[in-house]
Amino acid sequence: MTNIHPIHDRIVQRAEREIGNGHRAGVIWLTGLSGSGKSTIAAAVERELFTAGHFVVLLDGDNVRTGLCGDLGFSLEDRKENIRRIAETARLFVAAGAQVLCSFVSPTREIRAMAQDIIGAEDFYEVFVNTPLEVCEARDVKGLYAKARAGEIKGFTGIDSPYEAPENPFLDLKTAEQTVAASAQEVVRAIRNELTLQG
Ligand SMILES: Nc1ncnc2c1ncn2[C@@H]1O[C@H](COP(=O)(O)OS(=O)(=O)O)[C@@H](OP(=O)(O)O)[C@H]1O
Ligand SMILES: Nc1ncnc2c1ncn2[C@@H]1O[C@H](COP(=O)(O)OP(=O)(O)O)[C@@H](O)[C@H]1O
């Protein structure tokens, strides 16, 4: 950074914003295979927290890959750049006092470690949407597994591109064994416990 001199004392501080919002800021990072349930869970959590008056923001493929990351594909290099930009965006929202839900495949430990480094470990809560590949494939919500199996999509996560499960996630949601509501409640409860002003 040449000739860039941030002036921190001019801006409204994060702590002031958090007091105004009545809760702490942080990033809930949902990782899992396509079809594992990330978007469904994140949307339910967003709705519940918003209704309760939280400053909550959802970042997912629908609002990121169409704009900010619209130039990126699914090579490992592009996925890394995708996650880098998303993590930087999430960091800005945290500074603004938000509880940020990030819903991305984010397939490798290296990629997620980079996100954690950018955001800061103290503000990063990794949630493993832990759904076996067979279940995701049976769901095939968007018909993408069928296309990947037919060779119409190359480099599809879980088929011919890697997915590395988190080793020590903050939450491990076994969606094949519970309802959407139960999975979402686990996340809401964790946010309410961890991101209190006293916590
Ligand atoms: N090759 C390949 N591999 C995986 N996923 C693919 C691919 N091509 C398109 N899609 C669709 O893009 C969604 C994943 O985008 P992400 O931004 O979450 O991926 S990543 O974190 O950069 O790996 C993913 O959405 P979700 O199903 O919501 O996970 C897919 O619908
Ligand atoms: N416990 C659960 N949590 C989340 N989704 C579930 C659960 N049980 C079943 N599902 C279903 O699995 C599908 C997950 O799709 P989606 O949320 O788009 O996944 P992703 O965003 O990971 O690609 C949805 O059709 C959802 O209704």
Within a domain: 8: no
Confidence label for 2 from pLDDT (cuts 50, 70 and 90): confident
Within a domain: 65: yes
Ligand 1 midpoint to CA 60 (Å)? 10
Does the global pTM surpass 0.95?
yes
Tens digits of per-residue pLDDT, 59-111?
A: 999 899 999 999 999 999 999 999 999 999 999 999 999 999 999 999 999 99
Q: Beta strand pairing status for 26-31 and 124-129?
A: parallel
Q: How far apart are CA 99 and CA 5, in angstroms?
A: 27
Cβ–ligand 1 distance for 106 under 6 Å, the answer yes
- CATH code for the domain of 110: 3.40.50.300
Ligand 1 midpoint to CA 27 (Å)? 20
Within a domain: 123: yes
Neighbours of 37 (CB within 10 A): 26
Q: How far apart are CA 117 and CA 124, in angstroms?
A: 9
Within a domain: 57: yes
Task: Give the DSSP letter of residue 44.
Answer: H
pLDDT at 6 over 90: no
Cβ–ligand 1 distance for 35 under 6 Å, the answer yes
Ligand 2 neighbours (beta carbon < 6 A): 32, 34-41, 103, 129, 139, 141, 175, 178-180, 183
pLDDT at 10 over 90: no
Note the ipTM here: 0.98
Within a domain: 23: no
Within a domain: 2: no
Tens digits of per-residue pLDDT, 152-198?
A: 999 999 999 999 999 999 999 999 999 999 999 999 999 999 999 98
Average pLDDT over residues 11-25: 95
Cβ–ligand 1 distance for 95 under 6 Å, the answer no
Q: How far apart are CA 139 and CA 34, in angstroms?
A: 10
Catalytic (active site) residue 75: no
pLDDT (0 to 100) of residue 50: 98
Judged on CB neighbours under 10 Å (0-12, 13-18, 19+), 193 is exposed
Q: How far is CA 94 from CA 19, 25, 43, 98, 145, in A?
A: 13, 5, 19, 5, 34
Average pLDDT over residues 32-57: 98
Q: How far apart are CA 59 and CA 63, in angstroms?
A: 6
Phi, psi of 103 (to 5 degrees): -120, 95
> Which one has a higher pLDDT value, 8 or 66?
66
Within a domain: 25: no
User: At 157, which amino acid appears?
Assistant: T
pLDDT (0 to 100) of residue 105: 98
Cβ–ligand 1 distance for 142 under 6 Å, the answer yes
The domain tally of the chain equals: 1
The pair of structure tokens assigned to 4 is 């860039």
Query: Whose CA is closest to atom 3 on ligand 2?
Result: 180
Name the residue range of residue 135's domain.
30-194
Within a domain: 199: no
